[in-house]
Amino acid sequence: MNTEKFIYIVAGGPKEFIPSVIFSEKKDVKWMGVDRGVTYLLESGIIPDFAVGDFDSVSKEDWKSIVSKIDEVSRFKPEKDETDMQLAVEWALKQKPTHIKIFGATGGRLDHFMANALMLSIYQKKYSTVKIEVIDVQNTLSVHYPGKYPLQANNGKKYISFIPLDNNVTGLTLIGFKYPLHNHRVPFGSSLCISNELLQETGTFLFENGILMMIRSTD
DSSP codes joined into one string, the chain? -----EEEEE-SS-GGGS-GGGGG--S-EEEEEETHHHHHHHHTT---SEEEE--TTS-HHHHHHHHHH-S-EEE--SS-SS-HHHHHHHHHHHT--SEEEEES-SSS-HHHHHHHHHHHHHHHHHTTTSEEEEE-SSEEEEEE-SEEEEEE--GGG-EEEEEESSS-EEEEEEESBSS-EEEEEE-TT--TTSSB-BSSSEEEEEESBS-EEEEEE--
* pLDDT, tens digit, 9 for 90 and up, residues 94-117: 999 999 999 999 887 788 788 888
> What confidence score (pLDDT) does residue 84 get?
80
Rounded CA-CA distance 178/197 in Å is 5
What mean pLDDT, rounded, does the chain reach? 89
pLDDT in tens, 150-203: 999 887 899 999 999 998 899 999 999 999 999 999 999 899 999 999 999 999
Give the residue with greater pLDDT, 82 vs 166.
166
